[in-house]
Structures are given as structure tokens and as C-alpha cells.
């Protein structure tokens, strides 16, 4: 086999490998975005987990606040002084200073690197 044909074969093989790696990466990223990070479009009672049924619901009013620690995140400062770190606060409620009424469930089965407040799953949230 001549040197130019061998060079072309190597080039085609290398190109095929790059295409395969690119397609695999695309499929992986698409899968993570579509399936792995699926965000609820609504919050309702179906999000209550029966495995954590021993936790009582938290009913309250408070203010959404933006905290500039740990990369920045939104928390709820309740009117009774409690701090809540919601795991499912929808984008439409991520407004610093927004007054809300909420129902939440404490999630003792989760950990957070925020180290601020009780981790909660919002069941219901409404602006005041």
C-alpha cells in the first residue's frame, strides 16, 4: 500500500473516531438535559414522597431572597425567622424581595452545600 493511501486511511479513521466521540457526547448531554435534569413545570401534592411521610408540612409566608454565598442561590426567609433552602423553586419565583405564601415539606433525606436553612420541597407557592 502506498504512503498516500495509508495516510488517507488513517485520516478517515481518525475523522470517524472524532465523529463517533462527538455523537456520543451529544447523546450524553442531550440525555442528561432531557432526562437527568427534568424540572417540574408545576408544583402540586403529587410531589410529596410517601417515604418521607413522617415529616409535617410547613405552612408559611415569607420573602424570597438571593444569597451570594456558595455560587449564589435563592432561599426563603419566613416571617417567623426560619430559613428555607427550596430544591424546586421555579424560575418565575426567583426574584429577590418577592413576598410569597408557601407550603413545603422538609427534606431530611437530602444534603446541600449551601449550608443555609432547612432543605425543603415546595408543594405550593403563591405571590402575595
DSSP characters for 57-109?
Answer: EEEEEEEEEEE-STT-EEEEEETTS-EEEES---GGG--TT-EEEEEEEE-TT
- The whole-number pLDDT of residue 55 equals 58
5 and 59, same domain (yes or no):
no
- Residues 121 and 90 reside in one and the same domain: yes
Check residue 42 and give its pLDDT: 44
Q: Are 30 and 93 members of one domain?
A: no
C-alpha 29, offset from chain centre:
15
**Quick one: 34 and 79 in the same domain?**
no
Please tell me the predicted confidence (pLDDT) of residue 111.
86
pLDDT at 51: 46
The overall pTM is greater than 0.75: no
Instruction: Please tell me the distance from the alpha carbon of residue 106 to that of residue 53, in angstroms, as a whole number.
Output: 10
Q: Output helix, strand, coil percentages for the chain, rounded to the nearest 5.
A: 35, 30, 35
pLDDT of res. 40: 44
Domain that holds residue 23: 1-38
Residues 23 and 54 in one domain: no
Q: What is the CATH number of the domain that holds 109?
A: 2.40.50.500
Cross-strand pairs, 83: 77
If asked whether residues 53 and 18 sit together in one domain, one would say no
Total tally of structural domains belonging to the chain: 2
**Would you state the pLDDT for residue 7?**
62
pLDDT of residue 48: 46
pLDDT at 24: 81
114 close to 69: Cβ distance less than 8 angstroms: yes
Residues 24, 52, single domain; the answer is no
Same domain (yes/no): 8, 30: yes
Same domain, 26 and 53: no
Determine the pLDDT at residue 63: 98
- Determine whether 77 is exposed, middle or buried from the number of CB atoms within 10 Å of its CB (0-12, 13-18, 19+): middle
- Below-50 pLDDT ranges, the chain: 37-52, 54
> Quick one: 56 and 28 in the same domain?
no
Taking the C-alpha atoms of residue 93 and residue 37, their distance in angstroms, rounded to an integer, is 19
If asked whether residues 11 and 61 sit together in one domain, one would say no
Are 100 and 86 in contact by the 8 Å Cβ rule? The answer is no
Amino acid at each position: 500500500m502506498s504512503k498516500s493511501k495509508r495516510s488517507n486511511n488513517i485520516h478517515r479513521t481518525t475523522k470517524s473516531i472524532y465523529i463517533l466521540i462527538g455523537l456520543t457526547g451529544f447523546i450524553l448531554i442531550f440525555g442528561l438535559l432531557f432526562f437527568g435534569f427534568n424540572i417540574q413545570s408545576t408544583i402540586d401534592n403529587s410531589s410529596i414522597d410517601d417515604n418521607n411521610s413522617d415529616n409535617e408540612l410547613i405552612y408559611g409566608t415569607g420573602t424570597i431572597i438571593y444569597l451570594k454565598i456558595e455560587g449564589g442561590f435563592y432561599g426563603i426567609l419566613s416571617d417567623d425567622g426560619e430559613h428555607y433552602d427550596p430544591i424546586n423553586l421555579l424560575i418565575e419565583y426567583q426574584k429577590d424581595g418577592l413576598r410569597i405564601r408557601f407550603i413545603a415539606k422538609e427534606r431530611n433525606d437530602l444534603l446541600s452545600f449551601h449550608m443555609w436553612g432547612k432543605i425543603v420541597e415546595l408543594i405550593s407557592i403563591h405571590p402575595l
